């Protein structure tokens, strides 16, 4: 069995080290003897026949314009159908915004998303830059945010977690990110997965279940280094808040 990772717009939507999330997913699979195949899906590229985990990183407004256009129609509909069928997804910042209904930049027409998330994002006047710590169902998560977009979740959409340090979705409602089925959205760059191994393993397990059709229990790994990196990032976030 091979877990297929669909890296959406890896060449253009890949800022602030977001490719580290692909490395974390593939390495934690490899340490367990699980095969993965990462397929980069660019503008104009077809989707592979099966995608078990989507990753969609961050990018500036300019990149989002072309990507938004490419996602409209059959491509976005297929991604949405995959999420409904249980595929996993991690979307970060600009990618997160385009998994919602739309992102409204400062000086461009609103960019339509694919409505996986019942959410709308609007560029704000302030740029949120800094370390973020949130409390979530995967425990404490730590990352780094750099966005002017303010995301507001629809009433039925769960956030990824509650902000403890940082600004999160919009700096007002104390929420960060979103979760719909196995699709996660967040503003956590960093990259987020290497310092949050529980989240990485949850995505990996969801992707494997999508690939083989039954739930799996992943063997534990020696996460002392990940835990030390996590603790150091949380300490820095609290100290510099």
- Catalytic positions, please? 93, 189
149 in contact with ligand GLN (CB under 6 A): yes
Residue 237: phi and psi, rounded to 5, are -65, -45
Three-state secondary structure call for residue 213: coil
**Nearer CB in complex with ligand GLN: 111/203:** 111
End-to-end CA distance of the chain: 44
**Nearer CB in complex with ligand GLN: 17/86:** 17
60 in contact with ligand GLN (CB under 6 A): yes
Provide the phi-psi class of 99: left if phi over 0, else alpha when psi is between -120 and 50, else beta: alpha
- Asked if residue 83 lies in contact with residue 113, where contact means CB atoms within 8 angstroms, the answer is no
How many CA atoms within 13 Å lie on the side-chain side of 97? 31
Tokens of 201: 């393993």
- Report, in Å, the least distance between residue 74 CB and ligand GLN: 25
**Nearer CB in complex with ligand GLN: 74/129:** 129
- Say how many C-beta atoms besides its own lie within 10 A of residue 159's C-beta: 22
- Report, in Å, the least distance between residue 54 CB and ligand GLN: 16
58 in contact with ligand GLN (CB under 6 A): yes
Site mask, ligand GLN, residues 3-42, x = CB under 6 A? ------------x---------------------------
152 in contact with ligand GLN (CB under 6 A): no
- Report, in Å, the least distance between residue 140 CB and ligand GLN: 22
CA distance 195 to 161: 16
**Nearer CB in complex with ligand GLN: 32/104:** 104
User: Measuring CA to CA, which residue among 125, 75, 91, 90 is closest to residue 105?
Assistant: 125
- Report, in Å, the least distance between residue 103 CB and ligand GLN: 7
Q: How many degrees, rounded to 5, is the angle at CA 173 between CA 171 and CA 179?
A: 100
90 in contact with ligand GLN (CB under 6 A): no
Q: Where does this chain bind ligand GLN (CB under 6 A)?
A: 15, 58-61, 64, 93-94, 146-149
């Amino acid at each position: 069995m091979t877990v297929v990772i669909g890296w959406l717009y890896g060449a253009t939507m890949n800022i602030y080290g977001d490719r580290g999330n692909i490395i974390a997913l593939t390495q934690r699979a490899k340490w367990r003897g699980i095969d993965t195949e990462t397929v980069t899906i660019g503008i104009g590229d077809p989707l592979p026949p099966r995608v078990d985990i989507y990753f969609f990183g961050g990018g500036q407004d300019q990149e989002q314009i072309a990507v938004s256009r490419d996602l409209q129609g059959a491509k976005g509909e297929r991604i949405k159908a995959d999420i409904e069928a249980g595929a996993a997804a991690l979307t970060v910042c600009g990618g997160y915004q385009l998994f919602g209904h739309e992102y409204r930049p400062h000086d461009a027409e609103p960019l339509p998303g694919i409505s996986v998330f019942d959410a709308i994002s609007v560029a704000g006047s302030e740029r949120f830059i800094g370390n973020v710590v949130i409390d979530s169902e995967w425990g404490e998560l730590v990352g780094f945010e750099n966005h002017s977009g303010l995301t507001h979740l629809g009433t039925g959409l769960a956030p990824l977690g509650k902000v403890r340090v940082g600004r999160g979705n919009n700096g007002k409602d104390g929420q960060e990110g979103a979760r719909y089925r196995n699709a996660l959205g967040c503003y956590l760059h960093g990259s987020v997965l290497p310092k949050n191994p529980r989240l990485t393993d949850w995505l990996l397990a969801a992707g494997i279940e999508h690939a083989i059709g039954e739930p799996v229990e992943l063997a534990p790994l020696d996460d002392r280094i990940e835990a030390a990196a996590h603790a150091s990032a949380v300490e820095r976030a609290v100290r510099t808040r």
